[in-house]
């Protein structure tokens, strides 16, 4: 098991720079997710670590060894792809043991490693089946088992669950989480699904246009995003981000969202936001921080009324969509409290969880 260090890592295809000098240290036994939209450079970064893509410039260090010029087989890593890449004519046992047999390890060692991996992944009863006899989730577990038996320094996952249906993805997330708890090893996990990243990773690396936007724990990303991109990307449903103006209101400030709606900014943020008064800004707040009107538990909650546009029942709660100042805002409310579309409804906004974004830089201030 080993740490992984990326120093000024770049990748240029023709004249297109797809990875733009990223720096990242992944600790020994840490589970790190690289997340971002398609084309952000996350898979290319993973492939450079694995040795499957040439590095334009920069360094990849695995353990204490610079591996830029090492072949993939010499880097002591294992990679799991979204394509399971199993040999159809081999049994599960043969697929899992194939790499070990190529290394000419003793049969008893091979058998011990395969049976242990099968037990961990709960596929012992599948060892004599062939891939065509397996479900998608079972095939993915076999692909993971093939990597586990190698005892690599690090596991690299490239969107391994994207071919599975929604229910299987949830089940496999749990399997991968349990696997990391049992086999403590360094993991880099690439996904475009921020829910996967939030539920699996010790730390998340959000990438955008070949650059790292922010690195932090899932909770840090959720509570304290640093940029508009991270705020809008992390969280499901996405954070509401709408145009606003900061107004001076006596000794405090308010966020004007429309001709009729101004929400008071917490007094604790008056000094912090004072320089942005009378300037166009962006107001951010998550749907769960706008609810049906509730009893206040602190002084930074504000009540307001708005017309319901659309309802989306979700079972345990209902998403309520409003239009404020020409922008759509979503709220999360208790099903029994919602009003039908077209009716006015009373809401409470928890302004202690608001974010203010400077549209000139897209930074959260």
In the chain, how many domains are there? 2
pLDDT in the model for residue 151: 84
pLDDT in the model for residue 1: 60
pLDDT in the model for residue 184: 83
Residues 200 and 254 in one domain: no
The range of the structural domain enclosing residue 297 comes to 240-364
Residues 262 and 193 in one domain: no
pLDDT in the model for residue 120: 85
Q: Look up tokens 């004249």; give the residue.
A: 15
Residues 27 and 120 in one domain: yes
For residue 49, what is the domain's CATH number?
Answer: 3.40.50.300
Phi-psi map region of 113: left, alpha, beta (phi>0 left; psi -120 to 50 alpha): alpha
Domain end marker among 227, 261, 285:
227
pLDDT in the model for residue 140: 86
Residues 304 and 203 in one domain: no
Residues 246 and 285 in one domain: yes
pLDDT in the model for residue 136: 84
Would residue 235 count as lying in a domain?
no
Residues 276 and 200 in one domain: no
d(CA 183, CA 195): 23
How far is CA 219 from each of CA 177, 198, 201, rounded to the nearest angstrom? 17, 8, 11
Residues 45 and 110 in one domain: yes
Residues 94 and 171 in one domain: yes
Would residue 251 count as lying in a domain?
yes
Residues 221 and 250 in one domain: no
User: How open is the CA angle 36-71-57, to the nearest 5 degrees?
Assistant: 55
Would residue 233 count as lying in a domain?
no
How far is CA 352 from each of CA 238, 290, 325, rounded to the nearest angstrom? 18, 11, 22
Domain end marker among 202, 227, 252:
227
Blockwise average pLDDT, block size 10, the chain, 365 residues? 91 93 95 94 95 95 93 89 86 93 92 91 92 89 88 89 81 84 89 91 96 96 95 91 92 92 94 92 96 94 96 96 93 96 97 96 95
pLDDT in the model for residue 169: 83
End-to-end CA distance of the chain: 39
pLDDT in the model for residue 165: 81
Supply the DSSP symbol for 194: H
Would residue 303 count as lying in a domain?
yes
Residues 119 and 198 in one domain: yes
pLDDT in the model for residue 180: 87
pLDDT in the model for residue 350: 97
Residues 205 and 56 in one domain: yes
């Amino acid at each position: 098991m080993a740490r992984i260090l990326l120093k000024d890592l770049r990748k240029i295809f023709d004249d297109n720079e797809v990875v733009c000098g990223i720096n990242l240290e992944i600790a020994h036994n840490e589970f790190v997710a690289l997340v971002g939209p398609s084309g952000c450079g996350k898979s290319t970064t993973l492939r450079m670590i694995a040795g499957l893509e040439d590095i334009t410039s920069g360094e990849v260090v695995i353990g204490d060894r610079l591996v830029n010029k090492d072949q993939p087989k010499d880097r002591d890593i294992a990679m799991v792809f979204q394509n399971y890449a199993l040999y159809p004519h081999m049994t599960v046992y043969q697929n899992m043991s194939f790499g070990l047999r190529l290394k000419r390890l003793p049969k008893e060692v091979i058998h011990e490693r395969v049976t242990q991996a099968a037990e961990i992944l709960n596929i012992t009863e599948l060892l004599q089946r062939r891939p065509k006899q397996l479900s998608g989730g079972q095939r993915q577990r076999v692909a993971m088992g093939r990597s586990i038996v190698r005892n690599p320094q690090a596991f690299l996952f490239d969107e391994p669950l994207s071919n599975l249906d929604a229910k299987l993805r949830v089940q496999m997330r749990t399997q991968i989480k349990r696997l990391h708890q049992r086999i403590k090893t360094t993991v880099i996990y690439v996904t475009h699904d921020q829910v996967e990243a939030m539920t699996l990773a010790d730390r998340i690396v959000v990438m955008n246009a070949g650059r790292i936007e922010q690195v932090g724990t899932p909770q840090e990303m959720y509570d304290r995003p640093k940029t508009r991109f991270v705020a809008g990307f992390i969280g499901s449903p996405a954070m509401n981000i709408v145009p606003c103006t900061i107004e001076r209101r006596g000794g405090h400030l308010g966020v004007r969202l429309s001709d009729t709606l101004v929400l008071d900014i917490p007094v604790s943020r008056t000094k912090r936001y004072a320089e942005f008064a009378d300037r166009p800004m962006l107001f951010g707040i998550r749907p769960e921080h706008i609810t049906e009107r509730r009893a206040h538990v602190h002084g930074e909650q504000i009540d307001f009324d708005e017309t319901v546009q659309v309802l989306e029942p979700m079972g345990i709660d209902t998403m309520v969509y409003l239009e404020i100042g020409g922008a759509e805002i979503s709220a999360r409310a208790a099903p029994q409290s919602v009003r039908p579309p077209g009716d006015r409804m009373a809401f409470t906004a928890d302004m202690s969880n608001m974010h203010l974004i400077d549209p000139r830089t897209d930074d959260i201030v």
